[in-house]
Amino acid sequence: MHKIINNLIEIEKEINSNNFKSQNKVKIIAVSKTFSIEKILPLIDYGHLDFGENKVQEAIDKWTVVKKNNKDLNLHMVGKLQTNKVKHAVKIFDYIHSLDSLKLAKKISEEQAKIKKNLKLFIQINIGDEEQKSGIKIEELSNFYKTCVKEYNLKIIGLMCLPPANIDPSSYFSKVEIASKNLSLSNLSMGMSSDYLIALKYNTSFVRIGSKIFGRRD
């Protein structure tokens, strides 16, 4: 069997045996950024359905044909989204994990209305208040969420975060879990190759895993 399929199966097993708390099934997003579609195809043939990319143009180049031929595939935008790319992003992606400003919310609302599509969105929280990271401040979340839903009719399904690097992410995951409960949101996008087992303890529903499936990125 192909190595990347093995990697995915191992991660699935690990998640199932560590997932004591959560009732809802954890979805693994295979983050395939920088890898060519040829490298990804074995996983698609195996039947995996959720893939993540962080650049709009790269996603279009790699996924346009494959998605036409595999209607069940879900493509997740996990990277920073510029407003001038939204028009193309709403066409190719099914989920956006990086909603981080009202300007972006407005643009997504306008562009998806034009093509009658309703993407599933995560609000990205800048949980470590880090200057170099995007995301909504936790204190501003409640107002931001209300505007997204009432003014822009967006389908917000949950919260996403990228905790500060190289320290225990537990307290950050915990804060985001509490914030999502306060808004009665049912999904969390937390956990990457290095910390998905910790994210499970905080009831994450989507883990975004790249290098542990596909290997190191250059």
Ligand X SMILES: *Cc1c(COP(=O)(O)O)cnc(C)c1O
Footprint of ligand X (CB under 6 A):
31, 33, 54, 78-79, 162, 192-194, 208-212
Q: Which is nearer to ligand X, 147 or 170 (CB)?
A: 170
78 vs 72: CA distance, rounded Å:
19
The Cα-based distances of 147 to 103, 143, 150, 151, 178 in angstroms read: 11, 6, 5, 5, 20
What is the nearest approach in angstroms of ligand X to the Cβ of residue 206?
10
Residue 162 CB, nearest approach to ligand X (Å): 6
Closest CB to ligand X among residues 33, 120: 33
Whose Cβ is closer to ligand X: residue 75's or residue 182's?
75
194/114 Cα distance (integer angstroms): 39
Closest separation between CB of residue 114 and ligand X, Å? 27
Q: How far is the CB of 102 from ligand X (least distance, A)?
A: 21
- CB burial class (10 A; 0-12, 13-18, 19+) of residue 96? buried
Residue nearest to ligand X (CB): 210
Dihedral sign, Cα of residue 49, residue 110, residue 86, residue 148: negative
What is the smallest separation between the CB atom of 78 and ligand X, expressed in angstroms? 4
> Which CB atom, from 29 or from 154, has the smaller least distance to ligand X?
29
Instruction: Give 51 or 145: the residue with its C-beta nearer to ligand X.
Output: 51
Alpha carbons 117 and 90: distance in angstroms, whole number: 8
Give the whole-angstrom CA distance, residue 137 versus residue 76. 23
